[in-house]
Amino acid sequence: MWIQDEARVGQHGTLTRVWAKKGSRPRVLRDFRFESAYIFGAICPTAQKTSALIFTSVGAEEMSLHLACIAEKAAPDTHIVIIMDRAPWHRSVTIPNSVSILYLPPYSPELNPVEQVWDYLRSNYFSNRCYDTIESVFDACCEAWDLFSSQPALITSIGTRSWFSTNC
């Protein structure tokens, strides 16, 4: 069982709270350019595996490439079920033979654990940063995903839900 979603990371950045002396107002850099990268990410909390691709756009072609990438991560002769939302580009994709898609109910992002992955990455790696070029955005995305992927306990912690069981 894998869970999939995508997120936008850009030069515009994310603001977050910072520790400061009471009564002070710390200055934080803010960029108003809008070049963005899109991380297509998936996690398998039980196997503690991840898969991600980074693109400059979002669409069916990118989603098809990501599904193929996830399928490659599986052991031979293994069938994968991928849980994802109902974004328009999720409906017109090329699905590998070893993959089945299970769609979440409409308007239910709280059911997708990868949303918490994005929150974690934004809080710990992307917040209060400015990027000079789109290449530096891509580099930051790769670095953040690699650091996240290197923590198996974190993958399980974020991705596990009481209603989510692979023992069906």
- C-alpha angle with apex 130: 125 to 133, nearest 5 degrees? 110
What is the per-residue pLDDT for 149? 96
Structural domain for 59, as ranges: 2-6+33-154
166 assigned to some structural domain: no
What is the per-residue pLDDT for 12? 59
| Count of the separate structural domains present in the chain | 1
- CATH (domain of 117): 3.30.420.10
Entry pTM:
0.82
159 assigned to some structural domain: no
116 assigned to some structural domain: yes
16 assigned to some structural domain: no
Q: Tell me how far apart the alpha carbons of residues 103 and 81 are, in angstroms, rounded to a whole number.
A: 10
25 assigned to some structural domain: no
pLDDT tens figures, 57-95: 999 999 999 999 999 988 788 899 999 999 988 888 999
